Structure 1
Amino acid sequence: MKSNITKAAMVVTLLGASSQLFAQDTTPDATGRFGKKEFRTWSIGAHAGVLSSNTIFNGANRDYNSAREALGYGGYIKKQILPALGLQADFLAGKVKGSGQFNPLGTPQYFGSNTTFETHLEWSAALTAVYNLANISINNENAVLIPYVKGGVGYMSSGAENSNGTTTVQNHYKDGYFIPVGAGFKLGVAKGINLDFGYDVNFTKTAEFDGLNTGKFDKFSYGHAGIEFALGSKSKPQLQNYSSLANLRNESAEESAALRNALSTAEQKAARDREIYAKEMGDDDGDGVANKFDKCPGTPAGTVVDGSGCPFVAVAPIIKEKIIITEADRKVVSEAIKNLEFDLGKATIRDKSFPTLNRVAALLVEKNFSLKLAGHTDNTGSMALNLRLSKDRAEAVKAYLVSQGANASRIEAVGYGPNQPIATNKTAAGRQQNRRVEFTLY
């Protein structure tokens, strides 16, 4: 009863440790290529084959000379972490047999030649790491051939029976650790289904696996064939079968197609741009102005055009007539200045000033002169009053001259008030001189 409890506890411990490791999600990289959402990472498998005391590591120091092959069987559950690496919980059971001469040193005396042993492997559980050496496929991302190696650690329960034909010794079941290593390959026969062919060597940590406590630790082999099924959505590929080479080729093909499409689009756009450029920047009428900027398209050949493409209209040069002011002209203006009088403190021209102003108006009409009228006052009164009075008197003269036919646009009237005196304002005679309207012909 105690032995059965111990066995069950070991199995639970191994399966628990494996489930904790398997519970870790595959961490996707920046592109999400290896994320759990992209692939099926869990699988289960079953296998059967031949258990043998012969291994590829057998030497001269053996308890039994000949192996007697027997049936073995098992299964596993696997978590794929990367395309090349997975963790696997294995189960194996069956019988290991052997016969022939053995070294009787230290063994019961009733054993001799032609003895046999039969070890019943009641159960074994192991946690192994499986490394895929390659995912061989060129045109398909789901690999067809997957060679692998594996290794790990396990725990088993076994009992041996030894016999020389007349006497049989039954050993009790013993538990112990063992180290499984192996190699094999898988064939992908369908999406998520693989055939599994492998060869394992199990190194026990005891010399009594075959019932004899002699020599070095015992070992046994297991050649097997089986089948594996990926768990999860059938629409997703199995991560174990993922071929990065094929994926790289497919990605390269997609990128190449995308580049070709982009190049074709760019060439079409360039052709449209050239067509638009030829249409807008061409010069259909040959006038030297691009169509885009030609406001008068279709001008006759040889036509001189301006910057907008329209026929150039020559503007006749403006010949400015030279104005000559004679002494007689100046005398007319001088007499008008001398005879110009206003009512006191007002801009009203007195009648005696009109005859000389009439001659100035006639001179302006005849010779098209321009005239500047500048009003001035003495410093009697406020500045504001004097500025307004000087301006009003100049305007009064302008208004009279215009009424006599002079061109208003050629007469300028300004007022300076007392700011430009020509005599002192301390005397009545000086103030009289400062109250004036100056006429300037030009």
Structure 2
Amino acid sequence: MNYSTIKKAVACSLVASLGVAGAVNAQDAKVFGGRSQYRTWSIGINGGITSPNVLVGGSNAFGNKVGFFEAPVREYYGINIRKQFSSWFGLQVDANRGRIFTHNSEPFATVNAWDGNTYQSAETSVQYAVSLNGVFQLATIDFLRRENAVNFYATAGYGLIAFNPVMYANNDGTGASWDNKGNWGESATDRELQGDRDFKREAYIPVGLGLKFKLSDRVALDLGYTMNFVDTKTLFGPVANRTANDKFSYTHAGLEFSLGKKEKQDLTWANPVATLYDELKDPALRGEVEALKQRVGALEATVDALSKDSDGDGVSDKFDKCPNTPAGTQVDGSGCPINFPEPPKAEVSLGSYSNIQFEFDSSVLKTSSYAVLDQVASDLKASGATITLEGNASSEGPAEYNKQLSIDRANSVKNYLVNAGVAASQLQVVGNGEDKPVASNATEAGRILNRNVQFVK
């Protein structure tokens, strides 16, 4: 594969990925809350082995006459830092160093170095290999789980490698050798101007695949394979008659550590469609949905009732305080004849209403309270009576906090009743805090009963 073509393709892919990632992130910010709700930085360490062969084929400087799985290996290691931009794309800086070894299984007198000698093996020392890589997560969404535990990924990047090859006469790295360390440069003048040139520096393109396993909320196991295409024919020495650039592969295992606040989720493992499963996964939410469906049904029935006017006086039965008015009678807004005294307001019996209970440290209404609240709303609208909503709390926590919590609970009940059509002037809110328990605060059963709102005349 032509190196120039690879370089252009990788550069275009990185630019396009950054643009698409920006668009996706804008959508994520709108729908899911943006990257600020996640941990997006990670650091990793890795180690493994190099081989002078790559999966896509091609030859190395020594003819590649050794089988792929017979190729000699050497140690290689490094670190990386990654910024995750979305659930499927991130940018990663990799820094590695180590050695690469290659040899031919047979002597090859036809392959000569520029000094006129023949060589059968070479070992290249890599001082550093630094690259910027796009990381594409290929299996971010798991439709069976809310959060992934295994991620497949691919990488492509561009970097700079500094290396020094030493060629040997024998295939095991022994015998007469050629070593250009300290003399790299186009000419003696270049070397003099640039100082000691122990390593040759060239651009390279890393392309890889990998698999990550989530070990904990902070740590992941990283297994990967990277093919490195170097922009030179001298990675293993200045061998004559080379027609293709050199390449090598790196197989590694490593650990990745997520950085950031503990309470945030790691974006690497976030499933952007997880919210689609909430109704299937959470029984409590299913109950809430069913309660809301019943509430909608009740509202539809109320709308039907509001449109019914049995006596035809222009006031619906729901609000008609003088039903069965004779046809043609002029009525006021209550459906009663003009100058006809309104009937006295009925008294509301509060003894039949059960207290509205709340969870610990919560002022959110339970769906189980809706039926009682709907009955209270109906009675208050019919009677026009005024009542007091007394909020209460159990004895856990500071008294001042419990005082405010009891007020919040009473206001939650008031808001529900007002939304159901009760005039706000008919409702008075009082917060007792923990001062008026209905049961002993010494037991959990008693404390549960004390988290309530009571209806008082």
Distance of 1:147 and 1:155 partners within structure 2: 26
Match of 1:170 among 176, 179, 189: 179
Q: Which residue of 2 aligns with 1:266?
A: 296
1:128 pairs with one of 128, 133, 154: 133
Matches within 5 A, 1:243-262: 243-250=271-278, 259-262=289-292
Corresponding position of 2:435 = none
CA shift digits 1:219-276 (9 cap, x unpaired): 0000111111111011111112121233333378788765433211133456788999
On the 8 A contact 1:136/1:146 being kept in 2, the answer is: no
1:4-46: per-residue Cα shift (whole Å, max 9, x none)? xxxxxxxxxxxxxxxxx9xx99656463525232111111111
Q: Match for residue 194 of structure 1?
A: 220
Structure 2 residue 234 is the aligned partner of structure 1 residue 229: no
Q: What is the DSSP-based 3-state SS (H/G/I as helix, E as strand, rest coil) of the residue aligned with 1:73?
A: strand
Partner of 2:34: 35
Deviation, 1:182, is 0.6
Coordinate RMSD, CA, aligned: 3.6
Choose the corresponding residue for 2:98, options 84, 94, 100. Answer: 94
User: 1:183 — aligned with what?
Assistant: 209
**Partner of residue 57, structure 1:** 56
- Counterpart of 2:178, as a letter, is V
1:223 aligned counterpart, secondary structure: strand
* Structure 1 residue 149 corresponds to structure 2 residue 154: yes
Q: Secondary structure at the match of 1:128?
A: strand
Using the alignment, how far apart are the partners of 1:162 and 1:147 within structure 2? 38
Inter-CA distance 34–134: structure 2 relative to 1 (3 Å threshold): farther
Which of 77, 84, 107 is residue 81 of structure 2 equivalent to?
77
Structure-to-structure mapping, 1:337-416, within 5 angstroms: none
How many Å separate the matches in 1 of 2:26 and 2:50? 38
State how far apart, in whole Å, the 2-side matches of 1:237 and 1:251 are.
21
Do the aligned partners of 2:146 and 2:277 also contact (CA within 8 Å) in 1? no
Give 1:293's match in structure 2, choosing from 310, 322, 335.
322
What is the aligned counterpart of 1:208 among 231, 234, 244?
234
Kept in 2: contact 1:120–1:160 (CA 8 A): yes
The structure-2 alpha-carbon separation of the partners of 1:37 and 1:30, relative to structure 1 and needing over 3 Å to count, comes to closer
CA separation in 2, counterparts of 1:153 and 1:235?
Answer: 35
Q: Which amino acid aligns with 1:83?
A: S
Task: Give TM-score, length-normalised by structure 1.
Answer: 0.53
Structure 1 pair 104–275 and aligned structure 2 pair: CA distance change class (3 A): same
In the TM superposition, residue 140 of structure 1 has moved relative to its aligned partner by: 3.7
Amino acid in the other structure paired with 1:167: A
**Matched position secondary structure for 1:262:** helix
Work out whether residues 125 and 163 of structure 2, in 8 Å CA contact, stay in contact via their aligned partners in 1: yes
Aligned partner of 1:218 among 241, 246, 269:
246
Gaps (5+ residues) in structure 2? 1-17, 182-198, 312-318, 332-457
Structure 2 CA distance for partners of 1:268 and 1:142, relative to 1, 3 Å: same
CA distance in 2, matches of 1:34, 1:75: 31
Deviations 1:329-354 (Å, cap 9, x if unpaired)?
xxxxxxxxxxxxxxxxxxxxxxxxxx
Q: Is the 8 A contact 2:133 2:157 kept in 1?
A: yes
SS in 1 for 2:39: coil
CA deviations 1:122-161 (Å, max 9, x no partner) are: 1110001111112142354322221111111000111111
User: What is the SS of the residue equivalent to 1:83?
Assistant: coil
Once the two structures are TM-superposed, the CA of residue 58 in structure 1 deviates from its matched residue by 2.6
Q: Distance in 2 between matches of 1:41 and 1:294?
A: 67
CA-CA distance at 1:189 after TM superposition: 2.2
Aligned-partner Cα distance in 1 for 2:109–2:134: 37
